[in-house]
């Protein structure tokens, strides 16, 4: 069945080794952590950024696959394009289209043009108003399956920024810094795809396949020293027979379990230290499961 007729949920597991998967700028860029449980967190915004980057990299120049929220973008300039493309005059006093039909046209143009708008939705009411779009795809925060212990390491740069710093060090020219890492963390996120909202934005089966491929491959195209080694480990997709669905999402998520193996207190390796199981016998009628990774 197509995305417009079938509700979808998924479970996504990824890990990090000796890296910072999602620093908190309000905490000196320390890895995000739940203060009560000690479990690591990665925001949905961080995951969406990587999906956007993958789509931009692989679909560059393809009509309908531009990225709205991209580096150095000026959002109001993108909104103005929607008015120009449809030959619609902007009501400058109100900053929006004069009629409801024209307002729908500019919002639809944004969905048709930008992959991330028709996927995740967007609030496009800044200055030049293109309305609000509810996206069919939603992601939760990712949470580590075990407590993490972030490490703060000292690093040295064999250079200084200014001549004054060099003179102060008598030519030694060293700059000390700090680096935050998670020695190891296995994270789990959940996702939801609404067929009703997919119809409204024009999100298609082709878009769905691209989205899932992004989840499978986005870390391979997003390497940096700060993030260490990050890898997608499991992507398990539940597809319902109907648009309303045959079972609550939380019931399906409980069918996927990931646990530490006996005797492991400090996990460092996904294949050695964890067991992931899927209770296929408990799958409700009318729900199919696809293990993508």
For residue range 278-289, what is the model confidence (pLDDT) as tens digits?
999 999 999 999
Q: Who's near 176: CB < 8 A, 6+ residues apart? A: 154, 155, 156, 157
Band of the pLDDT at 126, cuts 50, 70, 90?
confident
Averaged pLDDT, 100-114: 94
Task: Give CA–CA dist 243/256, Å, rounded.
Answer: 22
User: Does pLDDT of 268 surpass 90?
Assistant: yes
The upper half-sphere exposure of residue 55, i.e. CA atoms within 13 Å in the direction of its Cβ, equals: 28
- Average pLDDT, rounded, for the chain: 92
Averaged pLDDT, 135-147: 97
Q: Say what the pLDDT of residue 269 is.
A: 96
Q: Say what the pLDDT of residue 64 is.
A: 96
Q: Who's near 220: CB < 8 A, 6+ residues apart? A: none
Q: Say what the pLDDT of residue 58 is.
A: 96
User: Does pLDDT of 91 surpass 80?
Assistant: no
Q: Say what the pLDDT of residue 164 is.
A: 81
User: Does pLDDT of 112 surpass 90?
Assistant: yes
Task: Give CA–CA dist 37/42, Å, rounded.
Answer: 15
User: Does pLDDT of 89 surpass 90?
Assistant: no
Task: Give CA–CA dist 217/50, Å, rounded.
Answer: 10
User: Does pLDDT of 253 surpass 80?
Assistant: yes
Averaged pLDDT, 3-26: 95
User: Does pLDDT of 175 surpass 80?
Assistant: no
Q: Choose the weakest-confidence range: 93-107, 158-172, 241-255.
A: 158-172
Residue 213 main-chain phi, psi, to 5 deg: -65, -35
Task: Give CA–CA dist 243/57, Å, rounded.
Answer: 32
Band of the pLDDT at 167, cuts 50, 70, 90?
confident
User: Does pLDDT of 13 surpass 80?
Assistant: yes
Burial of 135-158, coded b for 16+ CB within 10 Å and e otherwise, reads: bbbbbebbbbbbebebeeeeeeee
User: Does pLDDT of 158 surpass 80?
Assistant: no
User: Does pLDDT of 230 surpass 90?
Assistant: yes
Q: Say what the pLDDT of residue 96 is.
A: 80
Averaged pLDDT, 139-146: 97
User: Does pLDDT of 241 surpass 90?
Assistant: yes
Task: Give CA–CA dist 187/42, Å, rounded.
Answer: 8
Q: What proportion of the chain, given as a percentage, has pLDDT over 90?
A: 75
Burial of 100-127, coded b for 16+ CB within 10 Å and e otherwise, reads: eebbebbbbbbbebbbbbbbbbbebeee
Q: Could you tell me which residue, 165 or 28, shows the higher pLDDT?
A: 28
Q: Are 156 and 177 in contact (CB under 8 A)?
A: yes
Q: What proportion of the chain, given as a percentage, has pLDDT over 70?
A: 99
- Give residue for tokens 């398990």: 236
| Structure-block tokens of residue 215 | 């989840």
Band of the pLDDT at 151, cuts 50, 70, 90?
confident
């Amino acid at each position: 069945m197509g995305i417009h007729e079938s509700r979808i949920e998924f479970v996504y597991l990824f890990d990090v080794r000796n890296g910072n998967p999602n620093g908190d700028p309000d905490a000196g860029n320390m890895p995000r952590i739940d203060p009560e449980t000690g479990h690591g967190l990665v925001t949905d915004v961080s995951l969406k950024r990587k999906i956007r980057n993958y789509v931009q990299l692989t679909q560059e120049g393809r009509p309908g696959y531009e990225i709205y929220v991209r580096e150095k973008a000026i959002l109001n300039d993108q909104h103005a394009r929607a008015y120009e493309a449809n030959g619609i005059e902007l009501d400058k006093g109100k900053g929006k289209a004069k009629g409801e039909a024209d307002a729908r046209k500019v919002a639809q143009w944004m969905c048709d043009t930008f992959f991330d708008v028709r996927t995740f939705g967007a609030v496009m009411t800044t200055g030049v108003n293109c309305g609000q779009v509810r996206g069919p795809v939603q992601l939760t925060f990712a949470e580590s399956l075990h407590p993490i212990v972030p490490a703060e390491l000292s690093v040295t740069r064999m250079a200084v920024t200014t001549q004054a710093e060099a003179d102060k060090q008598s030519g030694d020219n060293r700059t000390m810094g700090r680096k935050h890492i998670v020695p190891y963390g296995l994270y789990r996120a959940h996702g939801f795809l609404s067929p009703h909202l997919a119809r409204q934005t024009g999100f298609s089966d082709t878009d769905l396949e691209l989205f899932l491929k992004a989840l499978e491959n986005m870390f391979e195209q997003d390497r940096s020293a700060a993030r260490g080694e990050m890898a997608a480990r499991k992507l398990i997709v539940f597809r319902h027979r109907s648009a309303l669905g045959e079972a609550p999402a939380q019931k399906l998520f409980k069918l996927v379990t990931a646990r530490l193996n006996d005797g492991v207190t400090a996990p460092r390796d996904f294949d050695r230290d964890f067991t992931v199981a899927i209770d296929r016998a408990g799958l409700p009628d009318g729900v199919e499961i696809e293990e993508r990774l």
